[in-house]
Chains A and B, each alone.
Chain A
Amino acid sequence: MLSFQSSKNVLSLTEDLLVRIYELLAAESDRKSFRLVCREFRRIDSLTRRHLRVIRIEFLPILLRKYPRLQSLDLSACPRIDDGVVSLLLTRVGPGSNSPSLGHWAWGLKSLVLSRATGLRFSGLEMLTRACPCLESVDVSYCCGFGDREAAALSSAVGLRELNMDKCLQLTDVGLAKIAVGCSKLEKLSLKWCMEITDLGIDLLCKKCVDLKYLDVSYLKVTNESLHSIASLLKLEVLGLMACPLIDDVGLQFIERGCPSLKVIDVSRCEGVSSSGLIYVVRGHRNLLELNAGYCLSELSTALLHQMKNLNHLEVIRIDGARISETSFQVISANCKSLVEIGLSKCVGVTNMGIMRLVSACINLRVLNLTCCHSITDTAISAIAYSCRSLVCLKLESCNMITEKGLCQLGSFCLLLEEIDLTDCCGVNDKGLEYLSRCSELSCLKLGLCTNISNKGLSYIGSNCLKIHELDLYRCTGIGDDGLEALSNGCKKLRKLNLSYCNAVSDRGLAYIGRLEELSDLEMRALHKITGVGLEAVAVGCKKLADLDMKHCEKVGDSGFWALAYYSKNLRQINLSYCGISDMALCMVMGNLSRLQEAKLVHLSNSTVEGVELALRACCARIKKVKLFAPLRFMLSSEILEILHARGCIIRWD
């Protein structure tokens, strides 16, 4: 009876209820458990799944067949995406071979992430956009070889609303015009680092895509003319102008009179912009939510402050690098009461008194960046902790005067704290970490260059902050194997760990690291004690390891690399510079790791030119970026260099 009931409980759930339950599962691991329950659950999973991020290309056809209702496909982590693969996927992958619904998976696809798909060219891209009639969002960022032809291919996706073309270096105005004319429904467009774009292209874009809500032209050599065109965009809400060297205050005057919906503007690092330009912007847009003016102001002038009084809705302000007075803090806190984030990185004139005035009214602050504000002490931290109870992120890099007293206040009041950066705060010690460990929500902790902490301090973190997923212990020379043991016992969710220059760490420590199953990102430069045994432990244990930096780990022998080549199938980036890897091991690592996309192979003392050549040949189909010793440029065969170049691989000569 009982078994009947229980079975009834599971089986009587109708399909739609199961779908509801499935949709409530947020974490990927939970979904994995769900689909492993039984066939029915697996069927629900395959019917309901909307998003797929593919890591290994070899499973892509099966996955596409399995999930017919995909809306979003992320191929950015996938090496070897090229025109041939795309054509195969579109012609061979379907419910049955030769059925008319070949390429059916693409019909419902709305979002496609092809970031860093450097092997892809316009013909493949065109096939994809033709095959996906519902495409609304495409990300081709960091496809450095992309240019006008690829843009023309993309422009056939007429329903496109979001497009990210960051660092498509060959893109010119012609390609942009193609997109502007073809995809007139575009709402979000990012053109960062598309250095060939000029005012003409931006002008055309603004005339053709009038629905644009988000436009990022950061780092472009556009002038005020472009701002004149941009000002005509009635729906524009977010405008990124970061580091545009040719725009100045005159251009911002256009923005004052235009862009009636503007909510967010970023003019950071714009050399030509001064506070008078910002006055125009602020005067024209009273409803501004976010203002990023980092490194373009020398001083927060009183005139600008006077205008900022009217920004009652302002939530985020960043004025990194500006000189600021205590009275300015008073004005900001009195008027911008809804502030959620303040960036004061490297600001001159940030004092305890200023911070106290600021936080007295801005009690909703969640993010506070005080990087390099050297003169603040525990007094300011106490005031912050006392006022801003909902603080989530606090950056205190190089605030040398902070001691355990400040951390004690934080640990007492800011219980929601998730991220704290204490890099180079030499006042932090084990006692301080003990106080800080009371913030049980902590997920990101940066303790680089904190030489006063030891294994004891780390053990507090390991036992209390169970949610930590990023930990930076760069040059924490006091940390040894015991600290790592405590860490590996508690912080099971650790994904990113930096152990560089922690000289005391040995193979035993790495064995503890190997227990961290979630670890994907490990930096362990210059650990002179570790050998192949330690590396093997990491390779075996950390199944998800994707990024490994072991520069200057000279004692690691081939056994470690063999293990790496054998176990770390998910490795995407590796830095083997100054390692004693042999030719054979190098070939194994480079050839066997089928997901490897980026490798730094400088000063390999035990390997020869032939070894490097062979290793490159073994991985040339999927490698996207490689750093090589400069003299090799003339020693490697021109053939392999040409192949790499043709595949879109970027070679950096060092």
Chain B
Amino acid sequence: MMNTPQQVKNPSSSLKSRFITRFLGALTKITAEDPISSSSPTRIFQRYRRIKVASNKSMAYSVRSRRIWSRAMLSRFRSRRSAFSGRRSSVKTTNCTTSPPPALIKVTINEKKTAKGGLDMQTDELRELVPGGEAMDVCNLLDETAHYIKCLTTQVQVMRKIVDFYHLSK
């Protein structure tokens, strides 16, 4: 599948290593707060949610703002966090995630109109999957999708290794 698990940008701090560092940190924090032994389903589910979010967040942070999808994801997290904390986050949300520059919107619309008829549906679906995909034209969308897939694969790989390690150590 993925031939190069590491991004070759900077061998010393590749995407994978950055993600691993962050994610393990978050994971240890979560396990510290929420011991595994607590079997309350709610807790467990919450924990699951937290881990998932931590995983996605770690990846998004590792990518920083280099990608549109990571930027969208980060803004989503921030708005969500601020929403949780009760602060007014609607403005933030709208600004960051749903208000692309008018030019981009126009481009998107035009793209949809001129794109081959049958591909519009799939393009829209892809937009929903990839964070921040609504505001991208098809070209960028495909680009972002490629990077997003790469990052997701890295995420899955790392998590699986951790799970294996956990499993073995138990």
Q: Do A and B share a complex?
A: no
Task: Give B residues with C-beta under 8 Å from A.
Answer: none
